[in-house]
Amino acid sequence: MTENHTALYGEHQKAGASFTDFGGWQMPLKYSSELAEHHAVRNAAGLFDLSHMGEVWVTGPDAGAFLDYALAGKLSAVAVGKAKYSLICNADGGIIDDLISYRRGDEKYLVVPNAGNAATVAALLAERAAGFDAVVEDASSETSLIAVQGPNAEAILLTLVPQAQHSLVTELKYYAAVEVGFTVNGTVQDLLLARTGYTGEDGFEIYLPNGGAAALWETLLENGQGQGLIPAGLAARDSLRLEAGMPLYGNELSTSGHAYAAGLGPVVSLAKESDFIGKAALAAIKAAGDGIASGRKLVGLKGVGRRAARGHYPVLKDGAVIGEVTSGQPSPTLGYPVAMAYVDVAHAEPGTMLDVDLRGKAEPFEVVALPFYKRQK
Amino acid sequence: MSKVASELKYSAEHEWIAADGAGPSTIGVSAVAADALGDIVYVDLPEAGSTVTAGESCGEIESTKSVSDLYSPVTGEVTEVNAAVVDDPALVNSDPYGAGWLFKVAVDSEGPLLTAPEYAAANGGEL
């Protein structure tokens, strides 16, 4: 596999990051302490390089109708300026990726797949576009994505935005996006700003051409210093999203699972009049009750002791295997181990006591409702 | 680069051992291992009075991202465990060769150990 570097790789090296491979990309795992980075996002702000994620533009008179066919949600119903979380499924209803789509115009959408799936999703969209008057353009390699997440994120962004445009930022709703002017090194450039994130905190994501990424990164760090902004790596991103109960593709989501078992039933629009890929299979799965009345479903687990469950550990009830952990670690914010796991629906009710096999020793965990952590608004 | 304390001996599994003259030897994990593990949040240590065997697992070290077995570099009886590090496992990150020590052993025999320069060379550490 080729080793991809984002436009910010040099910035991470300068900051002394440790790197990890993620979806074929060399990404910062942490800069100093992943716990400090996690707490910074919860209490102040963290700066993330998410440039490994994909950016696929869909344009044309049929853009909305095409995405209704290609994805599980009803994208044609999304208002211009808003965003929607959706799934791209195969004909069996299996999840190929989870993604966010921004409607940027009547005939214009930006679809953002995960890093490891970006090329697959771009190719699939192009394939599924046959017969529609829509153009699919993969801009992943020339687009950078920088996220500022945490309670101080808005105040930090405002230091770069001309006064006249402050209300665009302060009034931007969650899951909405707008073009805003950012002043970097004395020059104002219009960039796409979205109020989205993967941390459970308020926060923003900025899409921009690779050429301007390093300068924006440095300016944000400099302006955010007084507000507690520090760069944060993928380790913190993973612990933050887990606390927020958000699934990670490859852990909780895969082609062998489906939306209903993953608790993403509402993301699937069976009510959509038009057909979409996976619709018939998903309708049958829902009617059969798999992941609802039978089979396994995704739950949250809270550790009673101090040892954490990790991905792939067996979940037990009275010694019998009834599930498997998909993600788990000690929760930095809550102070106890948290995990997500697929378990038999018979044992999925919050309050149920289960065990996780921690390398040969059964340790008690309680089924709890997701998310583990919800910010105070 | 992670620091390797020059006065200590090391096992290939990243434990260090300090021979304190005639008394029990002190054992911990190297800064190389602590840095690779990330922020350590839980340590499971052998109990005082128990016997540990060189090269065998005698506990575990858990960080936010992963969990690793702790291997004893020597065979002998555990005389003391560091209660402070059980309470505050972050000491392993902040002071791996000092306040972050793990346990002490009355050594009967040593497993294969490396000198500090050998360990540093093999693991990319800095003396």
Contact A30 B62 (CB under 8 A): no
- A216 domain-assigned: yes
Percent of residues, chain B, with pLDDT higher than 70: 99
- Work out how many domains chain A is built from and give that number: 2
One domain for residues A32 and A168:
yes
Q: Would you place residue A35 in the very low, low, confident or very high pLDDT band (cuts 50, 70, 90)?
A: very high
Q: Quick check: B1 pLDDT over 90?
A: no
- To which H or E segment does residue B15 belong? strand B15-18
CB-CB contact of A95 with A253 (8 Å) = yes
Residues 6+ apart with CB under 8 A from B27: B15, B16, B17, B18, B72, B73, B74, B101, B102, B103, B104, B105
Residue A329 sits in a domain of what CATH number? 2.40.30.110
Closest to B67 (Cβ–Cβ): which among A30, A38, A310?
A310
CA dist., res. A302 & res. A343, Å (int):
14
Boundary (domain end) residue, out of A214, A243, A272: A243
Q: A131-168 as b/e, with b when 16 or more CB fall inside 10 Å?
A: ebebebebebeebbbbbbbbbbbbbbbeebbeeebeee
If one counts every other C-beta atom within 10 angstroms of the C-beta of residue A26, the result is 17
Q: Mutate which of B40, B43, B65, B93 to disrupt the A interface (most A C-beta within 10 Å)?
A: B65
One domain for residues A221 and A338:
no
Q: Quick check: A305 pLDDT over 70?
A: yes
Contact B67 A359 (CB under 8 A): yes
Token duo for residue B57: 């697992």
- A174 domain-assigned: yes
Identify which of A238, A151, A148, A243 has the alpha carbon closest to the alpha carbon of residue A196: A148
CA dist., res. A193 & res. A199, Å (int):
17
One domain for residues A30 and A152:
yes
Q: Which residues pair with residue A95 across a beta bridge?
A: A89
The CA-based angle A257-A262-A267, given to 5 degrees, is 105
If one counts every other C-beta atom within 10 angstroms of the C-beta of residue B64, the result is 24
User: A224-228 — which CB contacts under 8 Å span 24+ positions?
Assistant: A224/A45, A224/A47, A224/A148, A224/A152, A224/A156, A224/A159, A227/A44, A227/A45, A227/A152, A227/A155, A227/A156, A228/A40, A228/A43, A228/A44, A228/A45, A228/A150, A228/A152
CA dist., res. B16 & res. B26, Å (int):
8
Q: What number is the ipTM of this complex?
A: 0.77
- A361 domain-assigned: yes
The CA-based angle A231-A236-A240, given to 5 degrees, is 120
CA dist., res. A193 & res. B23, Å (int):
64
- A347 domain-assigned: yes
pLDDT for the residue B125: 87
pLDDT for the residue B19: 80
Write phi, then psi, for A171 (nearest 5 degrees): -95, 0
* pLDDT digits 0-9 by tens, A316-340: 999 999 999 999 999 999 999 999 9
Contact A33 B41 (CB under 8 A): no
Identify which of A373, A372, A354 has the alpha carbon closest to the alpha carbon of residue A364: A354
pLDDT for the residue A377: 74
Bridge-based pairing state of the strands A353-358 and A361-368: antiparallel
Q: Quick check: A96 pLDDT over 60?
A: yes
Q: Is the dihedral of CA A37, A43, A44, A47 positive or negative?
A: positive
Residues of chain A contacting B64 with CB distance shorter than 8 Å: 34-35, 38, 235, 239, 329-330, 332
The amino acid sitting at A67 is L
* pLDDT digits 0-9 by tens, A160-209: 999 999 999 999 999 999 999 999 999 999 999 999 999 999 999 999 99
One domain for residues A40 and A183:
yes
CB-CB contact of A152 with A224 (8 Å) = yes
Mean pLDDT for chain B overall:
94
Q: Quick check: A1 pLDDT over 60?
A: no
CB-CB contact of A247 with A340 (8 Å) = yes
One domain for residues A299 and A227:
no
Q: Would you place residue A115 in the very low, low, confident or very high pLDDT band (cuts 50, 70, 90)?
A: very high
Contact A330 B62 (CB under 8 A): yes
Nearest-by-CA chain A residue for B86: A306
| Mean pLDDT, residues A308-315 | 97
Closest to B64 (Cβ–Cβ): which among A18, A329, A359?
A329
Query: Is A20 in CB contact (< 8 Å) with chain B?
Result: no
Nearest-by-CA chain B residue for A336: B41
Q: Would you place residue A141 in the very low, low, confident or very high pLDDT band (cuts 50, 70, 90)?
A: very high
pLDDT for the residue B22: 77
Pick from A350-354, A359-363, A365-369: least confident:
A359-363
One domain for residues A46 and A183:
yes
pLDDT for the residue A2: 62
Q: Would you place residue A3 in the very low, low, confident or very high pLDDT band (cuts 50, 70, 90)?
A: confident
CA dist., res. B53 & res. A347, Å (int):
41
One domain for residues A157 and A300:
no
| Mean pLDDT, residues A227-243 | 98
Query: What distance, in Å, lies between the first and last C-alpha atoms of chain A?
Result: 43
Percent of residues, chain A, with pLDDT higher than 90: 97
- A161 domain-assigned: yes
> Which residue bears the tokens 């039978």?
A294
Mean pLDDT for chain A overall:
97
CB-CB contact of A267 with A62 (8 Å) = no
Boundary (domain end) residue, out of A216, A243, A270: A243
Q: Quick check: A82 pLDDT over 70?
A: yes
Q: What is the dihedral of CA B70, A340, B38, B71, to 10 degrees?
A: 10
Token duo for residue A21: 């491979």
One domain for residues A344 and A216:
no
| Mean pLDDT, residues A40-58 | 98
One domain for residues A232 and A325:
no
- A170 domain-assigned: yes
Residue A211 sits in a domain of what CATH number? 3.30.1360.120
Contact B41 A330 (CB under 8 A): yes
One domain for residues A325 and A191:
no
- Between positions 292 and 331 of A, the ones with CB within 8 A of B are 306-308, 310, 329-330
- A330 domain-assigned: yes
Q: How many residues does chain A have?
A: 377
- A268 domain-assigned: no
Pick from A166-170, A300-304, A334-338, B121-125: least confident:
B121-125
| DSSP-assigned letters across all residues of B27-90 | EEE-HHHHHHH-SEEEEE-PPTT-EE-TTSEEEEEEESS-EEEEE-SEEEEEEEE-HHHHH-TT
* pLDDT digits 0-9 by tens, A251-261: 999 999 999 99
**H-only helix segments in A78-180:** 118-128, 153-158, 166-170
Range of the domain at A324: 295-368
One domain for residues A239 and A300:
no
One domain for residues A164 and A31:
yes
* pLDDT digits 0-9 by tens, B20-77: 677 899 999 999 999 989 999 999 999 999 999 999 999 999 998 888 999 999 999 9
Residues of chain B contacting A359 with CB distance shorter than 8 Å: 60, 67
3-state helix, strand, coil in chain A (%, to 5): 25, 35, 40
- Taken in order of first residue, the domains within chain B and their CATH numbers are 10-110 (2.40.50.100)
- To which H or E segment does residue A177 belong? strand A177-184
